[in-house]
Structure 1
Amino acid sequence: MSFKNLAERQIMKAQAEGQLENLEGEGKPLPERAPGPLDTAAGMRIMAAAGAVPREIELKKEIEVQRLAVKAAEGTADWKQEMAKLADLQLRYAIEQEARKRFFT
């Protein structure tokens, strides 16, 4: 028996037993799907629901904050230092993305 048939049988069984009624979000549109592979998006959603934030997401937030710092420091002596911090964060972010991609392949 193929996995598709097994999954469909389990869904039909759950429907017949009424297990798919009165679920959270019933009757509402599905949430927007994150870009990228479905398995990665599902994993990120599960982690977010559990309160665990991957380092990749933390770095993305730090990059946004640092971009504002670079913009504020434009034309001052601190600009080069702020740009160096931004470049470092972007490099770390790229490393985290590459590590995740390699892990899932």
Structure 2
Amino acid sequence: MRGFRNLIERQILKAKSEGQLEGLEGEGQPLPDRSGEALVDPGIAAGMKIMAQAGVVPEELRLKAELDEARKLYRDTQDPTARKTAMARIADLEMRYQMARDARKSFLR
């Protein structure tokens, strides 16, 4: 363990002397608090980070946002026909959201 630590220290010092640690994003700032990510699988976290940087929203989150919008529309609508249409849309979105959620959960097993 000690040898491994020394190897790491040497690599850091070498990179520092070559200027490889200058101009990095967040340089001079404290490390971000990521204690909430401690229990998240690193592979999942990396995938989510890549998706976020690319501007991609997971299907489950997109459906959840649509579902919230549809529920708000239902609450704000007074016309019985429009409410019935909104209710059908909510049912469809809820089913699709649950399917996406179940697919993600079964994938993570």
Question: How does the TM-score come out when normalised to structure 1?
Answer: 0.68
Identify the residue that residue 50 of structure 1 maps to in structure 2.
54
Q: How does 1:1-105 map to 2 (within 5 A)?
A: 12=9, 14-16=11-13, 17-18=15-16, 19-26=20-27, 27-30=29-32, 33=36, 37-39=40-42, 40-74=44-78, 76-105=80-109
CA shift for structure 1 position 45: 2.0
**Aligned residues of 1:14 and 1:20 also touching (Cα < 8 A):** no
**Percent identity of paired positions between Structure 1 and Structure 2:** 37
| Between structures 1 and 2, the one with greater helix share | 2
Letter aligned with residue 12 of structure 2: Q
| CA 62–15 in structure 1, closer or farther in 2 if over 3 Å, else same | same
Whole-angstrom distance in 2 between the partners of 1:72 and 1:91 = 22
Q: Equivalent residue of 1:77, what SS? A: helix
| CA 31–48 in structure 1, closer or farther in 2 if over 3 Å, else same | farther
The C-alpha deviation readout for 1:10-59, integer Å capped at 9, x for no partner, is 8545522224444212314516657x734434322210102222211211
Letter aligned with residue 72 of structure 1: D
Q: Equivalent residue of 2:57, what SS? A: coil
Whole-angstrom distance in 2 between the partners of 1:75 and 1:41 = 44
CA shift for structure 1 position 95: 0.9
